[in-house]
Structure 1
């Protein structure tokens, strides 16, 4: 009996060993697949691109030439959520009249299907578009802006001329919050007016991916920008460390695309202080976007005090006389008045 028990134990051990070997053979391909995935990710990170978009610094395997398009977008609460902002390379947010801001949304690397609501022009928005060599799109104008557009100071498409043709009215919103234009119609209008769409804007300076991972500065995981006591145009930016980008909120609601519900995600938030002057009884402003001044540059959950300068039409961050590089990706520029000042208008790590 003892001999029989020993023989049975030996047989069981033999089968057990064979079973374990079988399991190891099944597991090997799974381990190899995981390693391949990691190698492929590293190879993608190291990929060198021959071309880069001038306003985002993002690489491309195809040529990135092409004219920028700058569209005036409404920011009244009745105009939210807007269409197309998630595709903009750069958005400039500046006060119009009263305490309501408007956006100059600049597109070059991406083409949204629909953009709007489109709002009226002001001189300083036109100057920003001019600095980017962009085709300027607006619906309406101030007196001074109308003179600039009609004199072709900047190539433009005016909704007052093309209302109902290139510009369409939404039935779900009331004027003046219901004018929209498609990117196809922008190109159609440019062709009608014989505007070239080949003039690329000048490029910003961008950091490398390695530099992006080593951004330093004071903590800025949550940023509040205040434009008035009423708070109608105030916004909050919250850093999402999982994607390395800022989410934007206005009126307590996240800024998303009306048509796709896609979130606006930002890599750079550049807040600049500029002199604002009221120039008439209606409340029109003159804003100095030439002289430079105080600024905050917010990236990767960090904030640095810098200055801003107008470099041949581009508003850029500066430090010790040198241009500060941006993180590759999308940028939002907030212009706040010198009174009450940037230190009062901006607060960090708010709840």
Structure 2
């Protein structure tokens, strides 16, 4: 066991749930890999065969109770389109985490990550962008996308993540073009089949910290009431989240209209994380969200919002969230959407 793990077990803040997380991570050999000049090999780990719940064990990306078979499987990240032609996207409602990022023309796309629930199919897959390696590297596991500029593909492949790219031989058994949408909005991933084929990869480390119960979330302990979250990326991408006390979730809208899944239900989130980020324009015409560094933001849970500071030290490190006093932010158990709202003209964040 590492000194860091040991210190977490003996710290005053260590709860039984956190102790269980650390022990499970240590036993399973989960570790963060540092980026290097040579392309790293994906981490492999034996997958537990038992399916019963592990006492005190929680899924690493949601903080919810999980069976051993979930604890042992890798995460699956995918680049998902958010063009009007791409909606409704398949499988997005089952993602543990969804990151929304600015791309060309004021539009947005998603990096979604599945681990606790794996849909049979998901998509449509779109091309990789320069900020995606920084978002995806901390998870390890698998990433699936449709392609991209070679410089960005090379950057993504030079990470501790196993790449599956549409049109490449290793991806052919798991991807196809559907007939219900026009190209390029129709590349679909057979997600369950891919996960079953890649069981030897390690499970992801914990990314965000979670309270043991919803009531213990930081926003509910020290936040203020919020009814609506407005996250405007540009004139053509004005996103919002409205608190629904009946369902106990935030409901998502785009351009003032409900954002619907394939069953006609409005997409929802237990936790909404809004981070203000800088944009690097080193690639002509392709904005890059800057994630290595720090900034400010807000976390909303249970109809309340709390200001936060975010930081990320390197590509393979997770995003860390703390209160203004420097205390760790705890999310409620459940899924989360992360809105990476740029610090540019026309972009803003408002709470009502």
Larger radius of gyration, structure 1 or 2? 1
Moved more, 55-64 or 298-307: 55-64
Moved more, 200-209 or 236-245: 200-209
2:277 corresponds, among 274, 277, 285, to 274
Unaligned runs of 5+ in 2: 1-52
Once the two structures are superposed, the pairs formed by residues 287-298 of structure 1 within 5 Å of their partners are 287-298=289-300
1:250 corresponds, among 242, 250, 254, to 254
CA deviation after TM superposition for structure 1 residue 70, in Å: 0.4
Q: Which residue of 2 aligns with 1:160?
A: 167
CA distance change for structure 1 residues 174 and 89 in 2, over 3 Å: closer, same or farther?
Answer: same
TM-score by length of 2: 0.76
Counterparts of 1:48 and 1:160, CA distance in 2: 39
The one-character-per-residue Cα deviations of 1:318-346 (angstroms, maximum 9, x if unpaired) are 122332111110100011112249xx611
The one-character-per-residue Cα deviations of 1:204-228 (angstroms, maximum 9, x if unpaired) are 2111324249444232111111111
Corresponding position: 1:324 with 2:332? no
Counterparts of 2:156 and 2:309, CA distance in 1: 31
Counterparts of 1:284 and 1:156, CA distance in 2: 21
The one-character-per-residue Cα deviations of 1:27-54 (angstroms, maximum 9, x if unpaired) are xxxxxxxxxxxxxxxxxxxx99421001
2:140 and 2:202 in contact (8 A); partners too: no
TM-score by length of 1: 0.77
SS state at 1:234 partner: strand
Corresponding position: 1:56 with 2:56? no
CA distance change for structure 1 residues 280 and 208 in 2, over 3 Å: closer, same or farther?
Answer: closer
CA deviation after TM superposition for structure 1 residue 133, in Å: 1.5
1:67 and 1:201 in contact (8 A); partners too: no
Counterparts of 2:117 and 2:207, CA distance in 1: 16
CA deviation after TM superposition for structure 1 residue 242, in Å: 1.1
SS state at 2:167 partner: helix
RMSD: 2.4
CA deviation after TM superposition for structure 1 residue 150, in Å: 4.8
1:88 corresponds, among 64, 88, 95, to 95
The one-character-per-residue Cα deviations of 1:139-162 (angstroms, maximum 9, x if unpaired) are 011232222345565311001315
Unaligned runs of 5+ in 1: 1-46
The one-character-per-residue Cα deviations of 1:280-304 (angstroms, maximum 9, x if unpaired) are 43x1123210101011111111111
Q: Which residue of 2 aligns with 1:348?
A: 351
CA distance change for structure 1 residues 221 and 140 in 2, over 3 Å: closer, same or farther?
Answer: same
SS state at 1:115 partner: coil
Counterparts of 2:129 and 2:160, CA distance in 1: 13
The one-character-per-residue Cα deviations of 1:76-123 (angstroms, maximum 9, x if unpaired) are 111111111110000000112121111011001001111111000112
The one-character-per-residue Cα deviations of 1:295-317 (angstroms, maximum 9, x if unpaired) are 11111111111111126521232
Counterparts of 1:52 and 1:219, CA distance in 2: 28
CA distance change for structure 1 residues 130 and 61 in 2, over 3 Å: closer, same or farther?
Answer: closer
SS state at 1:346 partner: strand
Structure in which a larger fraction of residues adopt helix = 1
SS state at 2:161 partner: coil
Counterparts of 2:272 and 2:157, CA distance in 1: 33
Counterparts of 1:122 and 1:196, CA distance in 2: 27
Aligned length: 293
